[in-house]
Structure 1
């Protein structure tokens, strides 16, 4: 006989876990090895002796070996999921999903052994079905790669579940919580996710997500490892490392990271740790490196503080989204959940408590089983989806229980489906001893409901019998019914995830190709959209090119008669399910086409030359932009450029992720690499719409023109812009854009000067603008990443803290004191004083990355 209960798996960046919800629903079996360890390292290495892969602790044990030995360890492969780049594991070049499949195969094999140890000798414990979790911020390629990895390991994937949702499911189950709204703060080894999740009547809805696929405990370790490296350099060692180019440097860096990890873990339970390491490795000059020091928790916190503050910025963005969507801000959050091993860092708990939990309905965060709660929640959901299968291979029998086997009443409503049965099976019966508790006629694949009397014991053994036409027993399968309280479970996931990137269609407008967004970033899944378009030529084919952001993901080509009229309607339907799998259907002139849409893998920035070229392009783009438009770009690009330069030699993967963000920023403001006309059309339309809003707000003459003159002027701008765009006249296009931008700024200044400054409507608008400016600067200060260089970091951190205090004292407090009912003149003076302070703080913030740099302009 076999038993098949679906499992929940957390395929983590650093560690992975697997769990199974017991049919009694009183406990969850979590894999634990003979040493009591509940997690398995997500590590893979090559063993030259056996010519095979090592997975888990056996692989991680080789962490300190030189890469030149051919047995390099591969870790944090989750960060590369969805990419087509291959990683060498010994002689094998493997995709990230193939390495992940090896981890899952080993994890499932160990769990089978774990379950078999407690099972009856004649019972085979199967692990064949699973709910697998992914970070909330994974996009479509990453989700699909995770699914393929699970399937390659031999699993049937029941669902892909976002990690924060799984954590919320477990918290609801464990603490027997009713309806509520959770903010799930998930800081794992390699990724950070935050989700706002609402539970109503067992239905879970993801209201908002945010996060960073390249921020986690690994980054805390790398940050402190860089601090250790700089300290060793001060002590006279030669350690100018370049892990991208030198395998020996990569090994040195790996050992420093490992030491930083040990220090982090020790400081989670102690205020001070004494470090004494001898002969760690040889430096670049051949001298053996030793390190001895006492490190306090406060010192560690100061080094990693900015990374932790960055996670809070993500939380603020998620709360802003949930506020707009569902009116859920921090005050409406019932519970803040801490998830992930990195939430053991005391500084993390302190900052989350101060910034989030203290402002929620429950003043303290929930923090239990942070390493395993995602797998535990996935196991609960898997049990809900997959029930329990039992069967007998020899007798070709398999039966599924599709309802819980636990209840409190006199009877239990039992759902049973016979999936495979011996020939001649006509019915089934539930028996206890010699008596029959319930019976029903049944057919293969048919589900029946049985009212079964429930015994008074906690466990009530029973037999499920399949009977033939004459009433004789063909097969008997043992199982148990349980008396107890069925805990809360996820009855539905109506909005389990949201789209991470815009899905658009390339269209032709004014003779130029443009994007029309079909499913916008943040759209809840599952989602379906229908749009109408029209043919523009008689080429005999209709081409529909779908894009994810700016990358093509699918081209649908429909053959139509050559005499099809120009302007014939084209119907496009795009559907995206909970796992971000997309299907498209198009119809035109009676022709129809269906297609599966596969999202693209992002371009890789592996070579230093490509990264430097991107930085040059970003800086050139900034020089071509001016005014408020240029200021926005400069703020965003400067932060990314600074971080890329800090990481280029020590963290290639995270550097690659930041390069992709910078690429999108440049494309957004200046246009993509393939676009001839810059800035792009959508930016021109944004500036033009700003001008229209200012003009239509005006009650009289503005810049010497009345409403009619303005409408004529705007009409000329649109006509000139369309002519330049259609003719691909770059110089004329940029001139028109710059003139329009100048008109916006001039009109705005005149509008500002002509408004009565004690007008309540003006004061309300001014307050909203100044308040938003203050909030944005608060986020930018929290998001600012100080230099990794130990010599520069203290100065930048000190300046950041000074500006934060300045902002709080001179801006946030005066704004909070305005109640809207005070003297108008005093309110106006306060707002102008705050705005003046904000300008100075903004300028000082933009100068932080260049603190201490020299200039080539003297004072003579």
Structure 2
């Protein structure tokens, strides 16, 4: 079996875990000798040259216009419809070197860097990967994530939801025969809450995803932005003539870039025990202001975001007819899981002891993804580090001492063997109902016929028979929608598929329309003419989707790019 890697493609940071032919896991370091790679891409002055990661992020101090952050929030969108500004009501596409890059293009650049670093660290070529995504990602976002992996040169074995990956990592240390877990996944840019069941089966550990909810535009960025807004307000109160938002664009962007780094550092410091307040400094137009940010002030200014997390938790429990008493274990993962104010709030809502530290909140997702890849390739016995010797390689500082300690533990510690039943690993559920637009013959109105309901497990397939719209039609357009509404106006259009007909069908004939979700949670569609029993494959044209030939061309174009 080839070495496989699991990739946590995060909004703010990425991690990579390798698993070798013997099932041994290893968290992989990047070219900075660190375990966390910031999801940052800097477009250099020379065409086709990029800097990815920590050095790219540092460019926010000097050249923020050529830096891309948080691209994961835009995944699945058309390249011309990204970074919408609600104030100006305009989009801000990723335009560099006279070309417009799509979110999947930029994600592919990040993935290519991760691939390059893993190959250098492991001393071998890596072709196969499992890539994670938020559980609440819909069809377009998952499809874009898979395309990004292919463009980076990977054979993408599967796109797996982050909470499922975390559950696989947790399975390797949990000693309970059966338990219901709630994964509270608050990352830099996305939030998911997922309920899963894990148990010991006859042939190994089993995982079943029960339900998921969340918001792929809620994350640590929002907490940071609230503190940034507070600091801007305090600065302008002290210097009333300094109107940062209406000053020179470059000065504004540099000020915000520096301030965001200051706020991130302050947030990290406040996560540590014994630290009650941290100074933050903002500079603009030759003037400076320093403000002390206390834990209580941080909690107050970000309370609205924490409350949103509580609402999603309550909603998913209510929809499943559950209470917190039905949850055996709460796992916190993601960048913001270190935030003490959020941990305290979650403990208060749930009445549960929060199992922070049972699994590493920053690396468990890539570890679980690597495990899933190993299982997909026919493995079943995984060799992992035991609960008491997991290295703390997810700290924000990642000091030299911590890196060396992690290396020692990973390379020389005794491993535990955990057996999984690949057939009983149900990766995910559909976050939103999916259906097609049809006409209600009684009212003449367009309605959505639901094929899959929210929280249905995939892979899944369903067929329903419909007549053509008109006698003698030569093609049929099938519009596919996602959402809980009953009409097209209340749902999101995923894409359209064209089915070629023979022009001989009448309204008395029937077409079997089949929708299916594969192991990646990506939608497929086909139709069958009942009269001739002939199947007709229909390709869904999604926003920013690529054909097989276009993917191949994109991979070839990426060979021209060089990484800094």
**TM-score for both structures, normalised by structure 1:** 0.53
Q: Which of 309, 317, 325 pairs up with 2:315?
A: 317
- Aligned residue in 2 for 1:207: 210
Tell me if 1:341 matches 2:335. yes
Contact residue 272 and residue 294 of structure 1 kept, 8 A: no
**Which of 361, 365, 383 is residue 370 of structure 1 equivalent to?**
361
Alignment of 1:344-423 (within 5 A): 344-356=338-350, 358-359=351-352, 363-367=353-357, 368-386=359-377, 402=379, 404=381
Task: Say which SS state the counterpart of residue 517 (structure 1) adopts.
Answer: strand
1:364 is paired with a residue of what secondary structure?
A: coil
Counterparts in 2 of 1:238 and 1:128: CA distance versus 1, 3 Å: farther
Asked if the contact 1:518–1:529 (Cα under 8 Å) also holds between the matched residues in 2, the reply is yes
Aligned partner of 2:465 in structure 1 is: 532
| Backbone CA RMSD of aligned residues | 2.9
| Cα drift, residue 582 of structure 1 | 2.3
**SS, match of residue 320 in structure 2:** helix
Question: Is the contact made by 2:276 and 2:295 (CA closer than 8 Å) also made in structure 1?
Answer: yes
Cα gap change, 1:495/1:131 in structure 2, threshold over 3 Å: closer, same or farther?
A: closer
Alpha-carbon spacing, 1:209–1:239, altered in 2? closer, same or farther (3 Å): farther
Q: CA deviation at 1:100?
A: 0.9
Structure 2 counterpart SS, 1:138: coil
When residues 272 and 595 of structure 1 are mapped into structure 2, their CA distance, relative to the original with a 3 A threshold, is same
**Aligned position for 1:271:** 275
Does residue 141 of structure 2 align to residue 142 of structure 1?
yes
Q: Which residue is 1:427 aligned to?
A: none
Superposed displacement of residue 561, structure 1: 5.0
Give the corresponding residue for 1:40: 37
SS in structure 2 opposite 1:378? helix
What is the distance in 2 between the residues matched to 1:406 and 1:293? 49
Tell me which of 424, 434, 447 is aligned to 1:502.
434
Q: Is 1:65 aligned to residue 62 of structure 2?
A: yes
Q: 1:370 aligns to what SS in structure 2?
A: coil
Indicate if the aligned counterparts of 1:141 and 1:599 stay in contact, CA closer than 8 A: yes
SS at match of 1:579: coil
Distance 2:69 2:462 in 1: 39
2:451 matched to 1:518? Answer: yes
User: Residues 150-549 of structure 1 correspond to what in structure 2 (within 5 A)?
Assistant: 150-200=149-199, 201=201, 202-242=205-245, 246-269=249-272, 270-275=274-279, 277=281, 281-282=283-284, 287-323=285-321, 328-356=322-350, 358-359=351-352, 363-367=353-357, 368-386=359-377, 402=379, 404=381, 485-489=416-420, 491=422, 492-494=424-426, 496-509=428-441, 510-535=443-468, 537-541=470-474, 543-549=476-482
Q: Deviations over 1:159-209 (max 9, x none)?
A: 111000111111111344433211000111111111101123223221111
Deviation of 1:294 (Å) = 2.4
Shift of 1:494: 2.9
Q: Is the 8 A contact 1:31 1:39 kept in 2?
A: no
Task: Give, in angstroms, the shift of residue 84 of structure 1.
Answer: 1.6
Matches of 1:276 and 1:497, distance apart in 2: 42
Over residues 74-93 of structure 1, what are the superposed CA-to-partner deviations in whole Å (9 max), with x where a residue is unaligned?
11111111112241245543
- The equivalent of 2:50 in structure 1 is 53
2:104 aligned counterpart, secondary structure: helix
User: How far apart, in 2, do the equivalents of 1:212 and 1:542 lie?
Assistant: 37
Q: Is the 8 A contact 2:499 2:527 kept in 1?
A: no
SS at match of 2:239: coil
Asked if 1:87 is matched to 2:98, the reply is no
Q: Deviations over 1:273-295 (max 9, x none)?
A: 34264xx543xxxx313122322
CA distance in 2: counterparts of 1:81 and 1:490, whole angstroms = 32
Q: Is the 8 A contact 2:132 2:160 kept in 1?
A: yes
Number of residues of Structure 1 aligned to a counterpart in Structure 2: 485
Instruction: Tell me, in whole angstroms, the C-alpha distance in 1 between the residues paired with 2:465 and 2:31.
Output: 61
In the alignment, structure 1 segments of 5+ residues that lack a partner are 117-124, 388-401, 408-481, 603-860
Residue ranges of structure 2 left out of the alignment (5+ in a row): 80-92, 385-412, 483-487, 546-564
Alpha carbons of 1:567 and 1:239: their partners in 2 closer, same or farther (altered >3 Å)?
A: farther
The aligned residue for residue 697 of structure 1 is: none
Render the CA deviation track for 1:325-351: whole Å, top value 9, x for unaligned.
Answer: xxx442221210000121111101101
Structure that is richer in helix per residue? 1
Report the Cα distance in structure 1 between the residues aligned to 2:457 and 2:239, rounded to whole angstroms: 55
Provide closer, same or farther for how the CA distance between residues 231 and 158 of structure 1 changes in structure 2, counting only shifts above 3 A.
Answer: same
SS at match of 2:77: coil
Aligned to 1:615: none
Q: Given that residues 212 and 431 in structure 2 are in contact (C-alpha distance below 8 angstroms), is that contact kept between their aligned partners in structure 1?
A: no
Matched with 1:114 is 121
Residue in 2 aligned with 1:568? 509
Structure 2 distance, partners of 1:490, 1:355, is 34
Structure of higher RCO (CA pairs closer than 8 Å, 6+ residues apart):
2
